[in-house]
Structure 1
Amino acid sequence: MNKNNFFELSFDELENFFTNLGFPRYRARQVFSWIYKNNVYDFKQMSNLSLDLRELLNSSFDLSFPKIQNLVESVDNSLKFLFNLGEDNFIETVFIKHRNRNTVCVSSQIGCPVGCMMCSTGKIGFKRNLKVSEIVLQVLAVESFVKSKMGKIDNLVFMGMGEPMLNFDNVIKAIKILSDKNGKSFSPRRVVISTSGFVDGIKKLKAVNLPIKLAVSLHATTNELRSKLIPINKTFNIDELIKASEEYALASKRRVTFEYVLMESINDSDQDIIRLKDLLKGLHAHVNLVKYNQSLSDVKIKTNIHRIKLFEKMLNNFGIKTTIRFSKGEDINGACGQLALLTELSSSLDDEL
């Protein structure tokens, strides 16, 4: 008998499972609590359930975690997990340790179809969207691994492999499962969804009516340049993107973060500062300036540290809240734009993995 993956189920769907079989509705709350609050991933250990019910659940649902194929630790204590999803499908997930919080950088797709110039993930191509369970289990598996030493996960950022807006329904369902008050009760305010610029996805996110923080990969101040860096700009240009982002900020009451990777002699001119000011002045926006990560790119690009500091100073002087974000995990290819499944770029997996 094939089992269903438990981590595909929302709380309401689990309630329906029990009531359809004639069980009281509260059984769903008990089971959801065991798994998402108490981190018990074995039905046989759920002591307030009858033995018969435990056996039914055990025969109906799979609670297994994905295999950790490889794990690499950075000098800054970041961890990059390579998860084996079976059938030669792999994803990377990054744990980031900050002084006062723990963050998991979650993947939403295997590979990515967008093809941004500064991102390594797109170089491996696109295989498929992740299932709801494959998104949820990244968080649970990482937390289970780090909790005893590092503590619980505080923040989720959908900045891993893939474009979250192209797997919108599964991403949102996973967030709702993790934030359900009957389980982990993760606050949507501590969730960030990053997009390369899919305006229709931003509009859908607005309609969901959750206080999720939106991050937008901007990286250019003209459509000509941005279309070269981020091909989706040919469909949704900068003006459309800024307009949709501000509408989302007003609806969610959350500032939108605009990510801007500085690339020397490409997008770091004085004119870029002025254009960026003109684009964002008066909006509910925050700018993250990011150093370019060379990663796997053959194009030799640098970030001029003096320019990045000038951008920060000038934009703040213009009244646009701006910070320099120093990426974690750069030495393990776990930083911004570096997730690329290096194992898949080789002819075959190493025997020891």
Structure 2
Amino acid sequence: MQTAVKPSLLEAEAVRAFLTAAGEKPYRLSQIDQAVYRDLVLEVDEITTLPTALREDLARHFVLSPMTLKKDALSSDGTNKFLFETTDEYLVESVLMRHKGDRLTLCISSQVGCPVKCSFCATGTMGYSRNLTTAEIVGQVLHVNRKLALTGERVRNIVFMGMGEPLINYDHVMDAVAILKDQKKFGIGARHITISTSGIVPRIKDLMERDPQVNLAVSLHAPNDALRTKIMPINNAYPLASLMDMLKLYTDTTNKRIFYEYIMLGGVNDSPLLAHELGTLLRGHLAHVNLIPYNPGAGWPDMKASSRNRIMEFQRIVQGYDVPCTIRYTFGQDIDAACGQLAVKEGKNAVAAEKQQKFQRVQKPVS
């Protein structure tokens, strides 16, 4: 007989319903939130602002978090990669990056695996299992904050650039953003939250209307449909013309710059001609291009990184079109925590990963 999975204290509606049914006052929910998000208690029993009987009742019906921290790997550059297990035994990863000035950014996951299947990304080789819940998304941040509390630190910046396509899991992601922004919970400002998408056009419009203050990053990676479709199958559903029209509407409406991610694949998308195409595509837009060196082992076996000289030449050409363009520093490559390297194919994840590997064996790699 399978044991029923308890809800977590991060599920506000479930907690509120429980407290109401128990005849408790509404302020009890605020006390629980204070203990969980700000005081960072590790167990329900540690919420000492609650009466003992209520603590015991909560402990019988709820767990503190729907995620368990299974592993914490430390890179030589100070980057941490965290492996989490959900209550139904799926595995996801998050990455904590330390920038100059001790600015901490946490890269979090929104799905178990990813259905988008970009050819240069290891997460796509996992296949896709399911969306993460709102509680599982914010649970990643909560666990990392607990670790950082030991040194008096907290996560100050969030990027939805881990496993999964955030805008496919739109409702849970946006509910998580609301919790992250809540001053009584995480208190992270909207301008310190970035949502990255492969280009889910209808949801970009929804994001623009629901929360125009968060940052938007777009995984572009090619300046024309022919190449983008080869390396990003999502382009079949949302070609560049429709994507760029929506992004122009987004910037006109929000007056916010969009970050365009462009992974540098040697011999694939890094030619001077393509740099000129990219500059032409983005000239006149509120745009900032991030060139990302390809990280080994992330995609098809025969993919390789562009040379440093080729990346710098590409940057120079794009900048010549008055488009800001920077080369992104690579974090955590030695622990497979860098961009495109997140993938967990063990445990329950292995089922979806095996299906994806069978699919890939009949596909032709990008050439």
- Do Structure 1 and Structure 2 share a fold, with TM-score over 0.5? yes
Which residue in the other structure is 1:350 paired with?
A: none
Deviation at 1:132, TM superposition (A): 1.4
What's the CA shift string for 1:298-346, capped at 9, x where partnerless?
1232312112112222322321111110220111111111111154698
Alpha-carbon distance, 1:8 to partner: 2.3
Which of 266, 280, 283 is residue 281 of structure 1 equivalent to?
Answer: 283
Give the Cα separation in 1 of the matches to 2:72 and 2:47.
31
Report the number of matched residues. Answer: 345
- Which amino acid in the other structure matches residue 195 of structure 1? T
Aligned to 2:80: 79
Aligned residue number for residue 60 of structure 2 = 59
Q: Deviations over 1:154-213 (max 9, x none)?
A: 111111111111111111111212221222212121111111111122112112124111
Alignment check: 8 A CA contact 2:111 2:130 kept: yes
Within a 5 Å distance, the mapping from 1:122-141 to structure 2 comes to: 122-141=124-143
Is the CA contact (8 Å cut-off) linking 2:110 and 2:132 kept in structure 1? yes
Distance 2:337 2:46 in 1: 36
Aligned partners of 1:223 and 1:233 also within 8 Å: yes
Task: For 2:316, give the aligned amino acid.
Answer: K
Given that 1:212 and 1:252 are in contact with CA atoms closer than 8 Å, whether structure 2 keeps it comes out as no
Contact 1:209 1:252 in 2 (8 A): no
The secondary structure found in structure 2 opposite 1:84 is strand
Match of 1:308 among 299, 308, 311: 311
Aligned positions of 1:176-191 closer than 5 A: 176-191=178-193
**Pair 1:46 & 2:51 matched:** no
Q: Secondary structure at the match of 1:110?
A: strand
Name 2:365's counterpart in structure 1: none
Contact 2:266 2:303 in 1 (8 A): no
Structure 1 residue aligned with 2:329? 326
Amino acid at match of 1:273: A
- CA shift for structure 1 position 43: 3.6
In 2, Cα distance between the equivalents of 1:250 and 1:155? 25
Q: SS of 2:86's equivalent? A: strand
Identity %: 36
What are the within-5 Å matches in structure 2 for residues 80-119 of structure 1? Answer: 80-100=81-101, 101-119=103-121
2:166 aligns to what?
A: 164
Q: Take 1:70 and 1:36, find their aligned partners in 2: how far apart are those partners?
A: 22
SS in 2 for 1:277: helix
Return the letter of the residue paired with 2:234. I
Looking at structure 1, the residues matched to 212 and 53 of structure 2 have their Cα atoms a distance apart, in angstroms, of 39
Question: Structure 1 57/278 Cα, relative in aligned 2: closer, same or farther at 3 Å?
Answer: same
Q: Which runs of 5+ in 1 are unaligned?
A: 348-353
Is the CA contact 1:246–1:256 (under 8 Å) kept in the aligned structure 2?
Answer: no
- The answer to whether the aligner puts 1:69 opposite 2:70 as a matched pair is yes
Higher mean Cα deviation, 29-38 or 157-166? 29-38
Tell me the residue number matched to 1:298.
301
Question: Alpha carbons of 1:2 and 1:265: their partners in 2 closer, same or farther (altered >3 Å)?
Answer: closer
User: What is the alpha-carbon root mean square deviation over aligned residues?
Assistant: 2.3
How far the C-alpha of 1:122 sits from its partner, in A, is: 0.8
Listed as ranges, the gaps of 5+ residues in structure 2 are 352-367
Alpha-carbon distance, 1:227 to partner? 0.3
Which residue matches 1:263? 265
Q: Is the 8 A contact 1:211 1:253 kept in 2?
A: no
Counterpart of 1:235, as a letter, is A
Q: Are residues 225 and 122 of structure 1, via their aligned partners in 2, closer, same or farther at CA, if it must alter by over 3 Å?
A: same
Contact 1:65-1:141 within 8 A present in 2 as well: no
| Offset, 1:87 | 4.3
For residue 266 of structure 1, report the CA deviation from its aligned partner.
1.8
Cα deviation digits, residues 244-281 of structure 1 (max 9, x gap): 22322333332110001122222222221221112111
Amino acid at match of 2:60: S
What is the CA-CA distance between 1:137 and the residue it aligns to?
Answer: 0.9
- Equivalent residue of 1:62, what SS? coil
Q: Which amino acid aligns with 1:213?
A: N
2:144 corresponds to: 142
Q: How does 1:203-214 map to 2 (within 5 A)?
A: 203-214=205-216
The code of the aligned residue for 1:307 comes to: R
From the superposition, tell whether residues 346 and 72 of structure 1 become closer, same or farther in structure 2 (CA, over 3 Å). farther
In structure 2, distance between residues paired with 1:51 and 1:265 = 65
- Tell me the SS of whatever aligns to 2:218: strand
TM-superposed deviation, 1:153: 0.6
Q: TM-score, normalised by structure 2?
A: 0.87
- Sort the Cα spacing of 1:70 and 1:18 in 2 relative to 1 into closer, same or farther, 3 A: closer
- Whether the 8 Å contact between 2:265 and 2:303 is mirrored in structure 1 is no
Amino acid at match of 2:39: N
User: Which range moves more in the overlay, 330-339 or 316-325?
Assistant: 316-325
1:339 aligns with 2:342: yes
Answer with 99-108 or 249-258: which moved more. Answer: 249-258
